[in-house]
Structure 1
Amino acid sequence: MILVTGATGNVGGQVVRQLHAAGESVRALARTPGKGAFPEGVEEVVGDLADPASLEGAFNGVDAVFLLWPLFSAETAPAVLKAAARHTERVVYLSSTGVDDTVLEQGDPINDFHARIERLLAESGLRWTAVRGGGFAANDLGWAEQVRQGATSIATPFPDAVRAVVHEGDLAAAAVHVLTAPDGGRRHDGRKYPLTGPERLSDAERIAIIGEAVGRPIRAEPMPLEQARAELIAGGLPQEYADGILGAVQEEFAAPGPSEEVRTIQALTGEAPRTYRQWVADHLADFRP
């Protein structure tokens, strides 16, 4: 039995479906009962990573855990990992390529909590593997409502920032590969696998690809940083997270000649990575009225 946290989200939902398709017994953790449309045979359990005491039943009897951390703080992570260790010995954690192993404090709060959870895993006695995701293609769903309403331009703070965004299906496939490895995943113990998409594309190029898919030209236009910051905060991000995201993109990807090393799922699993056009095709219903 494999427990999947974040099971109602983009990556977690893919992990659930891919494990189920592979014939594994899957238990899906959800904070709200009935929220996820899980395949028949998947066991749904209710629990909250913010409330470690609610997780004992979810962890009971599982062989491994896919851990996705949806909170803005790692405050409850020590108790969550202790609860997990009482029932299982393996965790595959969805982390971030932005984590810098050479420093104690990361440059922004998001990578800081990812680094902290990785350290806690290393100290927990659990067998663990980190799947470090680059920029998520699914974040581009933030443009979907404007596209559905017929927009011919999308404002973004860094239209020329280039990233190799990764399909959530590839992140899930990497995690499933580790979780279902024939040796019990031991060759993956303590490993940290960075994963990106197969191609470097700017915001403007990705917006144009979405436009091609829906059948009308859509261009990118610059958004003032203060407006971008306000929109992130209005969407529920704490102020320091909004500042961290914008600062990291500005520093790493928006400078002239930005570069991001492409590291795809193929290096880990041998499977061809999904392109951004494939991601758009998979989400076309989200962009159409």
Structure 2
Amino acid sequence: MMLVTGASGTVGRPLVELLVAAGVKVRAVARNPAGLPAVAEVVDEPVLEGVTGLFANPRAIGDGVDDLIGQAKAHGVRRVVALSAANVDDDPDRQPSRFRGDRNREVERAVTGSGLDWVALRPTTFAANAFGLWAEQIRRGDAVYGSYAEATWSPIHELDLAEVAVRALLDDDLLGTRPVLTGPESLTQREMVRTVGDAIGRELSYVEMTAETARVALVARGFPDGFATGLLAMQARSVGVPALVTNEVHRVLGRPALTFARWAADNAYVFGRAA
């Protein structure tokens, strides 16, 4: 039995689907279980009886990681896979996702120091971040307003991350490692928006704003101020600097990482124009 925390999230949902497809029994911790496979056992908090492998999502676990790992050890869990981040060793003020509840550093440290078999997955930017940053604007028109048009990301498709997580839970090849997982290419913000436009058959433009105007706009849309400030600082540092691209997805899965164009095509329906 595998216990997946954050099972209704960006990575957790495809992870549950892939595990079920592989014939693995899954207990899914989910606040919104709609759409999860019917054969998965859905719970609203971690239940560790009978569990042998645990997927630890830092946003879902938060500051409760030490208690969860203690319970896991007490119930005979043998392996823990942590969803961490490529910037986990950076100063906290350079980790904007912390302002949205991610406790990547705490979860990775607890997992790697647990005495259990472990893997710590360190992805770069999720391609799915484009939903929160751009989807509403694209549904309403052909101009996307943001800062630092030439800032770079190497966005990873959530299916790649979920497939690597399956390997980490079921196979032994990744034990004791911290693979840095990226998409296959470095793209600017402008190029990513253009790629979404290609997927939906519209010519989209990226309109660059000042950093302060962009910060105010992000906060007005509900993003924490610390997150907005940290994100913009990260973007500023990346202008003119190609984003990190690794070969880890290919090495683990035996195929190239999925492109952002593939991700945009898979999710084109999300960006459709509002009625």
TM over 0.5: yes
The one-letter code of the counterpart of 1:130 is A
Shift of 1:110: 4.6
Deviates more, 1:156-165 or 1:239-248: 239-248
Q: Give 2:266's aligned residue.
A: 282
Give runs of aligned pairs for residues 121-270 of structure 1, distance below 5 A.
Answer: 121-142=111-132, 143-149=134-140, 151-181=141-171, 185=172, 187-251=173-237, 253-254=238-239, 256-270=240-254
> Does the 8 Å contact 2:85/2:123 carry over to 1?
yes
Q: Give 1:83's aligned residue.
A: 71
Unaligned stretches of 5+ in structure 1? 48-54
Q: 1:11 to 1:218 in 2, by over 3 A?
A: same
> Does the 8 Å contact 1:98/1:111 carry over to 2?
no
> Does the 8 Å contact 1:197/1:275 carry over to 2?
yes
The one-letter code of the counterpart of 1:224 is T
> Does the 8 Å contact 1:99/1:111 carry over to 2?
no
Q: Per-residue CA shift, 1:94-114, capped at 9, x if unaligned?
A: 1111123xx7x4452457732
The one-letter code of the counterpart of 2:2 is I
Distance (Å, rounded) in 2 between the aligned partners of 1:31 and 1:205: 35
The percentage of counterpart residues that share the same residue type is 34
Unaligned stretches of 5+ in structure 2? none
Report SS of the residue matched to 1:154. strand
> Does the 8 Å contact 2:179/2:248 carry over to 1?
no
The one-letter code of the counterpart of 1:249 is Q
Q: Give 1:52's aligned residue.
A: none
Shift of 1:219: 0.9
TM-score (norm 1): 0.85
Which of 80, 86, 109 lines up with 1:97 in the alignment?
Answer: 86
Q: 1:246 to 1:84 in 2, by over 3 A?
A: farther
> Does the 8 Å contact 2:88/2:95 carry over to 1?
no
Distance (Å, rounded) in 2 between the aligned partners of 1:124 and 1:287: 42
Would you say how many aligned residue pairs link Structure 1 and Structure 2?
267
